[in-house]
């Protein structure tokens, strides 16, 4: 029995010593790959500000080919220890003035939504967003016409009225994915390119909101928010 026990322990040790280096190598590889992915993604996001602002080249699927290829290039540079290329990219992309980039309007839009998201939860519970279909900078955030409706609610943690997409052409043709089939079955669809105060508040009351924050563009081309108080009409 003692000999059997010793043999069992020896086998366990042998297995441990055999697999331990593999575990260590796997952990090191995963850690290194995570670091590479983080750096490459960070550089690609910065470099994206220099891309041509074309809706056909925006997206998380087919529209994002240039972004994915750029990320892959940075990953290969890091994996092949071409750190000079990485440093050159970093120096070039370290200081970017987003307001002077090809995506300055998108930057102002996302910044505005981010600030709205900082409002108190009690305020946001009775408030919804409205973004007219005429605001191209929002509805052309992606070549996938069914993606922008998720952006504003995700950033602000707020509901949105009249948020169904109206643009039919899309690079991602899965029109019934991500819950859209439920909306179609219930008869929800985009009806208005733009709504005035009266229609906005009518929608707000139907959905049980006291106010609506409209995101729009003024005559100066600035992205602004307009508060519509609908509780007392």
In tens, the pLDDT along 180-196 reads 778 777 878 888 999 99
Structure tokens at 56: 């056909």
| Backbone φ and ψ of 91, nearest 5° | -60, -40
Structure tokens at 104: 């300055």
DSSP structure string for 99-129: GGSTTHHHHHHHHHHHHHTTS-HHHHHTEEE
The chain-wide mean pLDDT, for the chain, equals: 87
- φ and ψ of 197, to 5 deg: -55, -40
- In this predicted structure, the answer to whether residue 54 has a pLDDT above a threshold of 80 is yes
Give residue 205's pLDDT band: very low, low, confident or very high (50, 70, 90): very high
Domain ranges of the chain: 2-97, 104-229
Minimum mean pLDDT range among 11-15, 99-103, 206-210: 11-15
What is the rounded distance in angstroms from the CA atom of residue 72 to the CA atom of residue 78? 10
d(CA 147, CA 175): 10
Output the CA–CA distances (angstroms, integers) from residue 101 to 52, 65, 96, in the order listed: 10, 20, 8
45 Cβ neighbours under 8 A, 6+ residues apart: none
pTM for the whole thing? Answer: 0.81
* Residue among 7, 227, 34, 197 at smallest CA distance from 126: 227
Q: How buried is residue 109: exposed, middle or buried, by Cβ count under 10 Å (0-12/13-18/19+)?
A: buried
Q: How far is it, in rounded angstroms, from Cα 7 to Cα 163?
A: 69
pLDDT tens string 154-180: 999 999 999 998 877 788 777 777 777
Angle, helices 65-79 vs 2-48, to 10°: value is: 130
- Helix-strand-coil split of the chain, %, nearest 5: 55, 10, 35
Cα–Cα distance between 96 and 150 in angstroms, integer? 27
DSSP string, 25-51: HHHHHHHHHHHHHHHHHHHHHHHHTTS
pLDDT confidence band for 22 (50 / 70 / 90):
confident
Max Cα separation, the chain?
91
- Grouping H, G, I as helix, E, B as strand and the rest as coil, residue 186 is coil
**DSSP letter (8 states) at residue 147:** S
The answer for 180, left when phi > 0, alpha when psi is -120 to 50, beta otherwise, is alpha
């Amino acid at each position: 029995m003692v000999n059997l026990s010793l043999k069992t322990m020896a086998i366990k040790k042998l297995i441990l010593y055999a697999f331990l280096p593999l575990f260590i190598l796997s952990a090191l590889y995963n850690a290194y790959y995570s670091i590479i992915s983080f750096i490459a993604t960070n550089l690609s996001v910065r470099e994206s500000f220099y891309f041509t602002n074309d809706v056909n080249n925006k997206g998380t699927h087919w529209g994002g080919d240039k972004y994915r290829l750029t990320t892959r290039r940075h990953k290969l540079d890091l994996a092949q220890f071409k750190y000079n290329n990485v440093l050159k990219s970093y120096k070039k992309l370290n200081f970017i003035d987003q307001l002077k980039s090809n995506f300055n309007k998108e930057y102002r839009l996302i910044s505005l939504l981010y600030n709205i998201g900082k409002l108190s939860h009690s305020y946001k519970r009775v408030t919804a967003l409205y973004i007219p279909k005429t605001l191209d900078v929002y509805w052309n955030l992606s070549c996938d016409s069914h993606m922008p409706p998720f952006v504003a609610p995700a950033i602000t943690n707020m509901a949105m009225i009249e948020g169904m997409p109206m643009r039919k052409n899309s690079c991602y043709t899965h029109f019934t994915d991500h819950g859209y089939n439920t909306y179609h079955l219930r008869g929800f669809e985009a009806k208005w390119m733009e709504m005035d105060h009266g229609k906005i508040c009518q929608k707000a009351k139907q959905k049980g909101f006291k106010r609506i924050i409209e995101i729009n563009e003024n005559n100066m081309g600035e992205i602004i928010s307009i508060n519509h108080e609908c509780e007392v009409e």
